[in-house]
A and B are shown apart, each in its own frame.
Chain A
Amino acid sequence: MREVAVQVNGRRREAMVEPRLTLADFIRHQCGLTGTHLGCEHGVCGACTVLVDGAAVRACLMFAVQADGREVTTVEALAGPDGALSVVQEAFRDAHGLQCGFCTPGFVISLTAFLRDHPDPTDDDLRSALSGNLCRCTGYQGILNAARLAANAGRNA
């Protein structure tokens, strides 16, 4: 067992963990933040995407011990303290960018990180940025529209 201290959504979390515990399981079960979903556990579907020190990573491919001393942001931290949705969350709702909702937290996190770094993306940029996340319900139509909406909101902000 190893001791880890991770700053999760602004709160310090300390725990004794097995070295093999994935960051995703740490977030879900140790921290009780179940918005981070596991769709494949082999790094393809992107449902478990979280921000580690601001970078979008797949929490199923990282161990909790690797996050020791780092800052993790999950989907639960994106809305404002008053519950106001973030621009990306709002865009997903406005554009029907989700159906069953299981892949949604991963998409929302991926897009949040991407638009932060690329505030003026082309359509191809958006498609490529979202191609690391899988959705089985929407055919990506609503998701791409949500990405366009959020990008436009950023340009006009």
Chain B
Amino acid sequence: MTGFAPGGRFVGQRVKRREDARFVTGTGKYVDDIALPGTLHAAFARSGVARGRLTRVGTAAAASMPGVAAVLTAADLNHLVQEWWTDLEGPDGQARQFRLFAKGDVRFAGEPVVMVVAESPYLAEDAAELIEIDIEPEKPVVDPECAATEGAPLVHPGLSSNVLLELPAIENPAVESVFASAPNVFTEIFRQHRYACVPLETRGILASWDPAGRQLTVWISTQGQFAAQGLFARVLGIPQAQIRVIMPDVGGAFGQKMFPHPEELAVAFATRRLSRPVKWIEDRRENLLCGEHAREDQAAISFAVDDDATVLAAKADFLESAGAFPVAASSALLLTTSIFPGPYRIGAAAGSGKTVYTNTAGRGSYRGPWMIETVAREQMIDHVARALGIDPLEMRRRNVVRENDLPYKMATGFVYDQLTAAATLEQAAELIKYDEFRVRQATVRAQGRLTGIGISLLAEPSAITFGWFSTDAATVRIGLHGAVDVCTTSASHGQSLETTIAQVVADELGVGLSDVRVIQGDTAVTPFGPGTGGSRSAVVVSSAARGAAQAVRAKVLDIAARKFEAAAEDLVIADGRVQVAGDPEAGMSVADIARLAYLDMSALPPGQEPGLEAHCRYSPSEHFTWSNACHMCTCEIDPATGAVTIGRYVVSEDCGVMINPTVVEGQIAGGVVQGIGGVLYEQMKYDDDGNPLTTTFVDYLLPTAAEVPEIEYGHIETPSPTNPGGHKGMGEGGAIASPPAVINAVADALAPLGVTIRHQPLSPSEIVALIQAS
């Protein structure tokens, strides 16, 4: 530990979660647990073909089935869609390719074609099976490299090319001159396969239109009630004031639930048309088929390197597959091209990239959507180290940004106000006993065993606050009887905000944790905010809650000061009581102050407003609050089967002042295992004709308790200057830094065989193939 030692009664403590009581007893309420009388159920008939002409949609059999309330197609609904831009994009988002249902053609396997609404989910699925969809298949564009080539078939026939976004390589003399004169230049292309987010709760919605009151009420599994409200309003063409969106308990999201998709929007149309509540709970096959995909991207990286392994300049050219209908702002090019130098002193850098449409499910923003930049860079560091014959730890030591470099301006323009990459590198090396591993490795290698160690360093741009994401807010009120309510913009879907925000507020107010209740997830109740995304809540939401709590605290002290005829500075609040310092007789409970504030106007100091409530809207002082981490892991590979076994896994993390170290470690662990899964097991696979091959959990393999390593943590707490609590977000880093750590460990294990790794997933068969090819 270095630096700051948090002194809070609750902040910094391993407080147990307050939300757990309902979850361990099965009394949480997720969207499918909410029942309204008279609810209808939706099911979708989808395209089974990636690309083709839609020649006929037969709905008669389904429509005449008993129990079917409606069968809705593109002809019924598409023209009703008013605007589809999200608040994150702004009106420019209208340029994004979007349609509710396929019409005229189909553009990916899984694209919704017809919605059936029936009296039960069983009947709805029966009827959906009766829908006849005739398609004349055409050759799809599945591979992004093919999609990017001139003359490739067009995913969207109305466009002139498949390129959705291009950041062209700009001639940069500073970079080129370094490359021209550098003693060593390396170029590699690193490819990453397609993942799925896979929250355990699939997408789901219950929507209810009240024709008399002209009110739409929506319960939806989402990451942000306001993001959903805005989109529903624009798509349906009704005022936001007529839409209430409630975010119940949400069973994970990981980026998949930032915005409603065509299916959820269609359900809202259905309840309006039928004036009965309509529910849709996605099944797992649908979730894997088309509930947003992620990652399929690649990076061509070039390093100009001195003979002493100093990286002098870097270039990166990225390619992303957007799928046919990508989710709002799911391209990560703007970030990947600007942060790829990472936590290293690389004096000159230039990034470029392209995002292309393909006939596949749309790209979403899975946990660390930009992570290819870290995945590729960290592989490149190892690649260069191996080529130069130096250890990858030493290579990083020579290039990492050190504290005496701060503030450090990346060649691409971003500034690290502070960064402890070097300290995390050393802490992780110490924890994993790096040098001892190398000694042991030499011995076992001589016996023919394949063991390896991998490192990755990460600078995480947390609490990204631009535009739609600029602020969060909280309202804190102490009620008449002393209970504290904190009403926040963002709501937890696993991040533990009901606990961590209460920790912050209880500390500021001097009350007990059990006195504080966090209220979240309802547009009718909570302040406006963007929802979760970009690892923001610990920084932005907590700062807003802190600010509001401080204002309420000042009010409590003001009223108490008058009551005791003392100066506010001489008062302390502890354990729910306001006390005159040094006078045990003079004190009263916060609840008693609340009674005065609400009921006894004569007790108020002149000019003081009655009541005990305050609101605070907050934006950090910088657009990014950088956190950083180092991951190291060891592995052993069975050369016969190709199976990779992770040995030790160590994470050294600096996320500033930790509100709750247990929650921090839980976030790290979840991300790390998603990354391990991604590299070793998970792949959302299409065949050459665009047929999805992995739409069950028997095909899309997730890690289980039997495979995961014991994750070990080191913490460095350097307070961030961007916010009063000194916190830094870290929700995505685990999933960003773990894939390259695992890949590098595998590459290290296989290096004596002459194997070079440039792609994933590293399944047993792939490893065997790599070994055989070497």
A contact set with B: CB distance below 8 Å? 18, 20-21, 28-29, 33-42, 44-45, 47, 74-76, 78-79, 85, 89-90, 92-94, 96, 98-105, 108, 126-128, 130-144
B284 adjacent to A42 (CB under 8 Å): yes
* B215 interfacial by beta-carbon distance below 8 Å: no
Contact: B284 with A137, CB < 8 Å?
no
Contact A140 B708 (CB under 8 A): yes
Chain B residues lying within 8 Å of A78, measured Cβ to Cβ, are 25
Chain B residues within 8 Å of chain A by Cβ, number: 57
Residues of B with C-beta under 8 A to A42 = 284, 696-698
Q: Give the distance in Å from the alpha carbon of A90 to the alpha carbon of B459 in the complex.
A: 36
B32 touches A34 (CB 8 A): yes
Contact between B24 and A99, CB atoms less than 8 A apart: no
Cα-based distance from A33 to B28 in the complex (angstroms): 11
Cβ–Cβ contact B494 & A39, under 8 A: no
Q: How far is the CA of A76 from the CA of B198 in the complex (A)?
A: 26
Q: Is B665 an interface residue (CB 8 A)?
A: yes
| B257 CB to nearest A CB, Å | 11
CB distance from B630 to the nearest CB of A (A): 18
Q: Which residue of A has the minimal Cβ distance to B202? A: A39
How far is A155 from B412 in the complex, measured between Cα atoms in Å? 58
Q: How far is the CA of A138 from the CA of B202 in the complex (A)?
A: 17
Ordered by A's residue number, 18 sampled pairs between the chains whose C-beta atoms are within 8 Å are A21-B122, A28-B32, A34-B30, A35-B26, A39-B201, A75-B24, A75-B25, A85-B25, A93-B21, A96-B663, A99-B494, A99-B670, A101-B28, A101-B494, A137-B494, A140-B705, A141-B710, A144-B708
Interface contact A100-B493, CB-CB below 8 Å: yes
Chain B 333-359 interface residues, beta-carbon cutoff 8 Å to A: none
Complex Cα distance A119/B22, Å?
Answer: 26
Cα distance A144–B705 in the bound complex, in angstroms: 7
A37→B670 contact, CB < 8 A: no
Among A20, A76, A102, A108, which residue has its beta carbon within 8 angstroms of that of B201? A102
Nearest first, the 8 A-B pairs at minimum CB distance are: A35-B26, A102-B251, A101-B23, A139-B673, A100-B494, A139-B669, A99-B494, A75-B26
Contact partners of B249 in chain A: CB under 8 A: 100-101
Contact with A along B178-205 (1 / 0, CB 8 A): 0000000000000000000011111000
Q: Does B515 contact A (CB under 8 A)?
A: no
- Measured CB to CB, the closest approach of chain A to B312, in angstroms, equals 38
Contact of A99 among B16, B25, B495, B698 (CB under 8 A): B495
* B251 and A101 contacting across the interface, CB-CB below 8 Å: yes
Q: Does B674 contact A (CB under 8 A)?
A: yes
Q: Which residues of A contact B21 (CB under 8 A)?
A: 85, 93
Bound Cα distance from A47 to B200, whole angstroms: 8
B663 — which chain A residues lie within 8 A by C-beta? 96
Check A76 against B27 for contact (C-beta < 8 Å).
yes
A71 to chain B, nearest CB (A): 18
Name which residue of chain A comes closest to B249, CB basis: A101
- Bound Cα distance A103, B669 (Å): 16
**Interface status of B254 (Cβ within 8 A of chain A):** yes
CA distance A40 to B696 in the complex (A): 8
* Contact status A134-B252, CB under 8 Å: no
Cα(A90)–Cα(B20), bound, Å: 9
Q: Which residue of A lies closest to B252 (CB)?
A: A100
Q: Are B696 and A34 in contact (CB under 8 A)?
A: no
Q: B78 an interface residue at 8 Å Cβ cutoff?
A: no
Closest to A92 in B: B24
- Residues of B225-259 at the interface with A, using a CB-CB cut-off of 8 Å, are 249-252, 254
Chain A residue with the shortest CB-CB distance to B285: A42
Docked-complex contact B705 and A143, CB < 8 angstroms = yes
Chain B 206-222 interface mask (CB, 8 Å, partner A; 1/0):
00000000000000000
Name the residue among A41, A102, A127 with the largest chain B CB count within 10 angstroms.
A102
Question: In the complex, what residue of chain B is closest to A22 when comparing beta carbons?
Answer: B122
B670–A139 touching, CB < 8 Å: yes
Given A96-B663, A101-B249, A85-B24 contact (CB < 8 Å): yes
- Is B283 close to A, CB under 8 A? yes
By a CB distance below 8 angstroms, the chain B residues around A136 are: 198-200, 252, 254, 670, 674, 702
- Residues in A with CB closer than 8 Å to B24 are 75, 85, 89-90, 92-93, 98, 101, 104-105, 108
| Contact between chains at B669 and A76 (CB < 8 Å) | no
What's the least CB distance linking B658 to chain A, in Å?
A: 14
Which residues of chain B from 687 to 734 have a CB within 8 Å of any chain A CB?
Answer: 696-698, 702-706, 708, 710-711, 734
Contact flag A135-B662 (CB < 8 Å), given A75-B26, A99-B494: no
The interface residues of chain A lying within 8 Å CB-to-CB of B711 are 139, 141
Report chain B residues within 8 Å CB of A139. Answer: 666, 669-674, 708, 711, 734
Task: Name the B residues within 8 Å of A132 (CB-CB).
Answer: 704
Take A35-B26, A99-B496 as given contacts and tell me if A142 and B706 are in contact as well, using a CB distance cutoff of 8 Å.
Answer: no
* Cβ contact within 8 Å between B705 and A131: yes
Known: A137-B252, A138-B666. A93 touches B26 (CB 8 A): no
In the bound assembly, the distance between CA atoms of A19 and B468 in angstroms comes to 50
Residues of A within 8 A of B284 (CB): 39-42, 45
Q: Please report which residues of chain B, range 630-648, place their CB below 8 angstroms from some CB of chain A when the two chains form the complex.
A: none
Apart from the given pairs A34-B26, A100-B251, A134-B702, 12 other A-B contacts in the complex at a CB distance below 8 Å: A40-B696, A96-B662, A98-B23, A101-B20, A136-B199, A137-B494, A138-B669, A139-B672, A139-B711, A139-B734, A140-B704, A141-B666
A95 CB to closest chain B CB (Å) equals 9
A96 to B202, CA, bound (A): 23
User: How distant is A75 from chain B, measured CB to nearest CB, in Å?
Assistant: 4
A104 to B23, CA, bound (A): 7
- B386 adjacent to chain A (CB < 8 Å): no
CA distance A85 to B662 in the complex (A): 21
A40 contacts B25, C-beta separation under 8 Å: no
Chain B window 270-298, contacts with chain A (Cβ cutoff 8 Å), 1 for yes, 0 for no: 00000000000101100000000000000
Report if A127-B670 is in contact (Cβ < 8 Å); known contacts: A98-B20, A100-B251, A102-B200: no
Residue of A nearest to B711 (CB): A141
Given A96-B666, A99-B494, also A128-B706 (CB < 8 A) = yes
Report chain B residues within 8 Å CB of A28.
32-33
Residues of A within 8 A of B494 (CB): 99-101, 137
Contacts of A85 in B (CB 8 A): 21, 24-25
Asked if A35 and B25 make an inter-chain contact with CB atoms under 8 angstroms apart, the answer reads: yes
Whether B704 pairs with A131 at a CB distance below 8 angstroms is yes
A45 contacts which of B28, B35, B122, B697 (Cβ < 8 Å)? B697
